[in-house]
Chains A and B, each alone.
Chain A
Amino acid sequence: MANPRYGLAEKLDKATLLEMYRQLVLLRRFEEKTAQQYGLQKIGGFCHLYIGQEAVAVGVEAALNDDDYVITAYRDHGQALARGTPPGEVMAEMFGKATGCAKGKGGSMHLYDIPRHFYGGWGIVGAQIPLALGTAWASKYRGDNRVTVCYFGEAAVNQGAFHEALNMASLWKVPAVFICENNRYGMGTPISVSSAEVEVYKRGCANKVPGEAVDGLDVLAMYDAAKRAVDYCREGNGPFLLEARTYRYRGHSMSDPAVYRTREEVEEERKRDPIPRLRDYLTSKKKVKEDELVAIEEQVEKDVDAAVKFAEESPWPDPSQLYEDVYAMPIRPGESK
C-alpha cells in the first residue's frame, strides 16, 4: 500500500480526478447528514450508511459508460449519488417525500434512477445478483455493448443466488462485473465466522469466473481494477469477480452500535481513509492547489444542505398514491358492486 501502482488510473486527467474527489466528499458529507437526519427522526426504517466505502462506488463509476447498468443491495446511497442521482432526490426519498427518486415508496434501501441506468436498491441479501445476471443477459441478447455492474457484500456470497448466477453468467459469457464490497462484517458476523474461504475473489473459480482483490479504500486502485474488469467484460470474455477490500466506519445500519469490533480496529482502518489519500495524491503528484480542493469541499457542503432543504420542503405523497404503481393498470380488489 505504501507505493501503490495505479495502472490505468495514472492516465486519468485532472478534471476526472477532481470529479472523483468531489464524489468522495459528497458521499461522505451526504451520509453524515443522513445520520444526523435519522437521529432527528426525519428518516425512518432501516438505513445503511456508506461511510468508509466511498472509494468503491466512485472508483467503479469512473470506469463505466453512462448507459452501463448498475445494481446493488440496500446499502445504496453511495451508488445512486455516484451515478449522478441528484442528492435532493435521494434525501427526499429517505424523508418519504413525493419528490424522492422512487416517489417515497422505496426509502433508503430502494433507490432507483432508471434514466441514469441505476436499477436499485434491493433488500434481500444476494437477490440482486440474479437480477444482474438478467440485465447482463439482456445486453448480450440485444448486443448493446453494455456492461452490468453488480455490487453485494461479502456475506452475500454465501447465498445460493450468488453461485447460481455466477454459473449461468460464466456458462453464457454475459458482460457482468460482480463487485463484492468486502467490509469484513455481515451485520455483526466477521467473515472468518461465516465463510470457509475468506478470500472472496477466489469464490468464482468453481464456475470459471476469474477474480481479483483490490484495495477498496484507495479510489485510484479501485478505478484501475474496475476499468480492467469492465473492459474484460465488454470485450465479450464473460463475467469477472472483483473483491473490493473496504471497511465501514459505522454499524451495519443506523440501529447497530457495532460493539462486535474494537475502537482500535476502526481507528486503524481510518488511517487508510480514501479521502485524504486522494487529497494527498492530488496535491503532491498532480500539483492541485489547496484552494481548488477547498472550493470543492465548500460546494459539496452547500449541495448537501440544499438536499436536506429540498427534502424538508417537499410535499408528502398524495394519499391517492397508496394504490398507484401496483400494476400497470389500477386494480382495486374488493370493489364488486
Chain B
Amino acid sequence: MRELTFREALNEALDEELGRDPDVFLMGEEVGAYNGAYKVSKGLLDKYGPRRVIDAPISELGFAGLGVGAAMVGLRPIIEVMTWNFAILAMDQIVNTAAKMRYMSGGALKCPVVFRGPNGAAHSLAAQHSQFFEAQYAYFPGLKVIVPGTPADAKGLLKAAIRDDDPVCFMESETMYAWKGMVPDGEHIVPIGVGDIKREGTDCTVVAWGRALKIAMDGAEALAKEGINVEVVDPRTIRPLDEQIIVNSVRKTGHCVIVEEGWPYFNVGSTISDIVQRACFDSLDAPVMRVTGADVPMPYSMALEKLARPDADSVVKTVKLTLNVR
C-alpha cells in the first residue's frame, strides 16, 4: 500500500491501461501538451505520444461522438470531459448513441467507451460550473455510472471501466484531486456494481458516494463522539447499483440517511429511498431521510455557497433526527 492523491491514482490507472492495451487511447481538451486541465493526464503524452494521447478542439459533441464511433468498431477510447458541466453539449452522443447502440442493434454492437472528468461543485465557480450529474446519466439504461470516493476506488474502478464492454460515465471531483488515500500496490481492479462498507456501525445506515462520502465519514466521526454508531455504505457505482449492500445494512440498523451533494428532486437518493422503503419496510424504525444540496442554482458568494452545500454538520443533525436523539 502507498499513499496517493486521487490525481496520482487516476493517472496510474490511465498509464497502466494505456500500457496494457494498444486499443486504449485518451482524448480530450488539454489532455496532452497541457498535461490535463487538472493534471490527471500528466506525463502521458510524453510517454505514449500524440497517437494515443490526443488534444481535441473544444467540440464536446464532436469528440464524444468520435469516441463512440471508435468504440463501435472495437477501440477503447477514454474521453476526458473538462467537467461534466461541459458534457451537456455531448449528451446526445452519450445518451442517444452510446447508451442505445447495443440494444437498438439487437446486441450486434458494443460501445466500450469511458467518459470521465470532474463532476459537481468546487469553490465559488457559480451556477454553470457547479452541477452534479450522476442522477441524470444513471437514469438511462445502457449507461454505467461510477462515482468513486477514495483514491483506491478511483484507480480500481477506472481500470475496470476501461476494460468494460459498456459505455461508462466516470465522475471525479475537482476538489478531491489532491486528497490522499492508501492505494494497493500492483494490479488493483475494483469490480463495477459492488458497493463497500466504509465504516461499520449499528445505529444508522448512511449512504454516500463521491465527495459526499467524506462528508458522511466526518459526520460519522462526530456522531461517534456522542456514542452514535453509524454505518457508512459507499455504493461506488450508481448504475448498476449494489442495492443489496444498502438493503442489508438498513435491515441491520433500522435507519437510513442518504447524503448526496446534488439537488433534492429526482436524484439518486430518491431511487435509493424507494428501494429501501420497499425492501426494508419491516426493519425501518423511522422514515428514510436525505441530506442534499439546496434546490437552487449554485450561488457564487462564499457566504451563500456554504449554505447551499451539505456538510458534516447537516449529516449529524439528520442522523440525530432520524434516531430521535436531541
- By beta carbon, the residue of chain A nearest B90 is A130
Report the separation of the CA atoms of residues A122 and B110 in the bound assembly, to the nearest whole angstrom: 15
Instruction: Select one of A123, A165, A171 contacting B65, CB under 8 A.
Output: A165
Given A114-B109, A331-B240, is A131 in contact with B102 using a C-beta cutoff of 8 Å?
no
Instruction: Please choose the segment from A7-15, A187-195, A234-242, A321-329 that sits at the chain B interface, where 4 or more of its residues have CB less than 8 A away.
Output: A321-329
Instruction: Select one of B51, B67, B110, B141 contacting A328, CB under 8 A.
Output: B110
- B243 on the interface (CB 8 Å rule)? yes
A267 to chain B, nearest CB (A): 38
CB neighbors of B among A63-107 (8 A)? 69, 100-106
Known contacts A101-B106, A119-B109, A134-B66, then 14 further A-B pairs from the complex at CB < 8 Å, ordered by chain A residue: A69-B73, A102-B108, A103-B106, A105-B104, A106-B106, A120-B105, A124-B96, A130-B68, A133-B65, A327-B166, A327-B240, A328-B110, A328-B164, A334-B243
Please list the 9 inter-chain residue pairs (A to B) with the smallest Cβ-Cβ separation, ordered nearest first. A134-B69, A130-B65, A164-B62, A103-B106, A336-B243, A131-B69, A164-B59, A325-B107, A328-B165
User: In the complex, what residues of A have CB within 8 A of residue B61's CB?
Assistant: 130, 160-161, 164
Instruction: Select one of B62, B75, B144 contacting A161, CB under 8 A.
Output: B62
- A30 on the interface (CB 8 Å rule)? no
Report the separation of the CA atoms of residues A133 and B103 in the bound assembly, to the nearest whole angstrom: 22
B132 to chain A, nearest CB (A): 20
Complex contact B97–A336 (CB within 8 A): no
B78 to chain A, nearest CB (A): 13
Instruction: Give 29 pairs: A residue, B residue, CB < 8 Å, sorted on A.
Output: A69-B73, A101-B106, A103-B106, A106-B105, A110-B105, A112-B105, A114-B109, A119-B72, A119-B73, A119-B109, A127-B65, A127-B92, A127-B97, A131-B93, A133-B66, A134-B71, A135-B73, A138-B75, A164-B57, A164-B61, A164-B63, A327-B166, A328-B110, A333-B239, A333-B240, A335-B243, A336-B247, A337-B247, A337-B279
User: In the complex, what residues of B have CB within 8 A of residue A168's CB?
Assistant: 56-57, 59, 62-63, 66
| B-to-A contact residues, CB < 8 Å | 25, 51, 56-57, 59, 61-75, 77, 92-93, 96-97, 102-110, 141-142, 144, 164-166, 193, 239-241, 243-244, 246-247, 275, 279
CB neighbors of B among A151-201 (8 A)? 160-161, 164-165, 167-168, 171
Complex contact A133–B105 (CB within 8 A): no
- By beta carbon, the residue of chain B nearest A123 is B96
User: In the complex, what residues of B have CB within 8 A of residue A122's CB?
Assistant: 97
How many contacts A-B (CB < 8 Å)? 155
Given A69-B73, A327-B142, is A133 in contact with B62 using a C-beta cutoff of 8 Å?
yes
User: In the complex, what residues of A have CB within 8 A of residue B106's CB?
Assistant: 100-106, 112, 325
The interface bits of chain A over 116-160 (1 if a CB of B lies within 8 angstroms of the residue's CB, else 0) are 000111111001011111110110010000000000000000001
User: In the complex, what residues of A have CB within 8 A of residue B92's CB?
Assistant: 124, 127, 161
User: In the complex, what residues of A have CB within 8 A of residue B239's CB?
Assistant: 333
The interface bits of chain A over 281-323 (1 if a CB of B lies within 8 angstroms of the residue's CB, else 0) are 0000000000000000000000000000000000000000000
Instruction: Select one of A105, A141, A331 contacting B25, CB under 8 A.
Output: A141
User: In the complex, what residues of B have CB within 8 A of residue A133's CB?
Assistant: 62, 65-66, 69
Complex contact B63–A135 (CB within 8 A): no
Given A134-B69, A134-B70, A168-B62, is A325 in contact with B102 using a C-beta cutoff of 8 Å?
yes
Complex contact A131–B65 (CB within 8 A): yes
- By beta carbon, the residue of chain A nearest B96 is A124
A163 to chain B, nearest CB (A): 8
Interface centre among A114, A131, A132, A134 (most CB of B within 10 A): A134
Instruction: Select one of A102, A123, A135 contacting B70, CB under 8 A.
Output: A135
Complex contact B66–A137 (CB within 8 A): yes
Complex contact B65–A161 (CB within 8 A): yes
User: In the complex, what residues of A have CB within 8 A of residue B77's CB?
Assistant: 134
Complex contact B56–A102 (CB within 8 A): no
Report the separation of the CA atoms of residues A69 and B107 in the bound assembly, to the nearest whole angstrom: 18
Complex contact A102–B102 (CB within 8 A): no
Given A135-B69, A168-B63, is A326 in contact with B102 using a C-beta cutoff of 8 Å?
yes
Complex contact A325–B103 (CB within 8 A): yes
Given A120-B105, A328-B165, is A132 in contact with B93 using a C-beta cutoff of 8 Å?
no
Instruction: Select one of A112, A131, A326 contacting B142, CB under 8 A.
Output: A326
User: In the complex, what residues of A have CB within 8 A of residue B241's CB?
Assistant: 333
User: In the complex, what residues of B have CB within 8 A of residue A324's CB?
Assistant: 107
Report the separation of the CA atoms of residues A121 and B71 in the bound assembly, to the nearest whole angstrom: 17
User: In the complex, what residues of B have CB within 8 A of residue A129's CB?
Assistant: 65
Report the separation of the CA atoms of residues A122 and B72 in the bound assembly, to the nearest whole angstrom: 13
Complex contact A131–B72 (CB within 8 A): yes
Complex contact A336–B166 (CB within 8 A): no
